[in-house]
A = this chain, B = another copy of it.
Amino acid sequence: MTRIGIGQIEPRIMDIDHNLQQLKDILRQATKAEVEVLVLPELANSGYAFDTMEEVEESAESIPKGAYSKQLIRWSRNGRMVVAGINEKFDEQYFNSAGIFAEGNLLDIYRKVHLFNKEKQWFSPGPIEPPVVEFLGHKFGVMICWDWAFPEMARILALKGARMILHPANLVLKYCQRAMETRALENGVFTATANRIGNERKLTFSGKSQITNTKGKVLLSIPDEETGVSYVDIDLPIADRKKLTKMNHLLKDRRPDIYRRLIES
């Protein structure tokens, strides 16, 4: 069994010190709870509702050299993994990224492919498909928030062998949590969505961070107004059972020969 935790937090826009302090608190909770794999929300270091490009630039950090990343790396020592959303400066561009850290190392960076609304003004879209990393013998896929609306993303992660999708989010619409049940079911993967709460400028974030099993059943849902770490112990190899009936394999029954339209632009 692997202990999967999701941290529901309330970052403040442009308040780097507050956000770092909040991170320390949440990591302490995760340590106490003996969480092995922790997921934190999108843009956890900076907050979300930017007004200007200058704000984006001021609150960005490089991965893994920034202060937020360093805390995450430090926590990840002693056999732990953590995925967190970070406003990232890279190569003179800004990305809505997820840093993936394990055992004191940076494993990978995912740069969000599908940008939501005003994010298009602030961030460059990610240039490549989402990553799958290995930890404790299990493969984990990572996507960010609005990627949920594109079934292509969870599918790509499942095809790359992910047993679980780790999903930092800052949700303002109400649709994601239900849709993630379908993402889990159609791919036979576990999912963990870490959402934030609170208000920033005109936006309200919806909480209800959740973990689902491979049949789309919600195993854990954190109430709207709470912050903190919640966790479930999960038998991840269950995700290798892709047969929904004796003769139906969720991935092998796919028909790539007729899906060509999906990659035509």
Contacts and interface: CB of A to CB of B under 8 A. Distances in A.
A257 B113 CA distance: 11
Contact of A185 (B118, B179, B247): B179
A65 interface: no
Contact of A259 (B244, B254, B263): B263
Interface string A246-265: 11101001111111111111
A178 B181 contact: yes
Contacts of A264: 256
A262 B156 contact: yes
A78 interface: no
A42 interface: no
Contacts of A216: 175, 178
B261 A149 contact: no
A112 B152 CA distance: 21
Interface string A112-127: 0110111010000101
21 contacts: A113-B255, A113-B258, A114-B255, A117-B245, A120-B247, A129-B259, A146-B248, A149-B185, A149-B186, A150-B186, A151-B152, A152-B254, A152-B255, A152-B262, A155-B262, A156-B261, A160-B261, A175-B185, A179-B182, A181-B182, A256-B263
Interface of A: 113-114, 116-118, 120, 125, 127-129, 146, 149-152, 155-156, 159-160, 173, 175, 178-179, 181-182, 185-186, 215-216, 244-248, 250, 253-265
Kindly list the 3 A-B residue pairs having the minimum CB-CB distance in the complex, ordered from nearest.
Answer: A151-B151, A182-B182, A117-B245
